[in-house]
Amino acid sequence: MILALILIGASFYVAPLRAFFAQQNRYQSAAGALQVARADNAAFDQQMRLLSTKTYVAQAARADSMLVPPDTQVFVVKGLPGADAAPAVTSGSVPAAGSISLLDRVKDLWRTLLR
């Protein structure tokens, strides 16, 4: 009988405990979102402060839009490797014109593996 009363009394605490834990989870996720929003806000404030300076605006215009001040001569050098360009590979042999034969492919494979 006492065990039944204890179980009935404990059942009254299950729903409030479940709600309490759900509320804690919502609080933790909201606190994390608030922290991320504050960090983003600080980054935007920093960017806003930088955008109010003439030197940063000029630097961003040169880098992003390739704009230059008036009366400035601009040179464009083509053929330089960029950040996404693969470096040129040079080898001792001259590439053959046309398709490569199967024997040449096997030789190249062995040469590559033995290096």
Residue 106 maps to a domain: no
Residue 59 maps to a domain: yes
Q: How many domains does the chain have?
A: 1
What is the tens place of the pLDDT at every residue in 2-21?
888 888 888 887 788 888 88
Residue 69 neighbours by CB under 8 Å, 6+ apart: 58
Residue 42 maps to a domain: yes
Residue 98 maps to a domain: no
> How does residue 47 score in pLDDT terms, banded at 50, 70 and 90?
very high
Residue 105 maps to a domain: no
Tokens of 46: 């920093």
The answer for 98, left when phi > 0, alpha when psi is -120 to 50, beta otherwise, is left
Q: Where are the alpha helices (DSSP H) in 1-115?
A: 2-51, 54-64, 102-114
The whole domain housing 10 covers 2-81
What is the tens place of the pLDDT at every residue in 74-111?
777 888 776 565 555 555 555 555 566 778 777 777 77
pLDDT of residue 72: 80
pLDDT of residue 48: 94
pLDDT of residue 1: 86
Residue 6 maps to a domain: yes
The answer for 20, left when phi > 0, alpha when psi is -120 to 50, beta otherwise, is alpha
Residue 94 maps to a domain: no
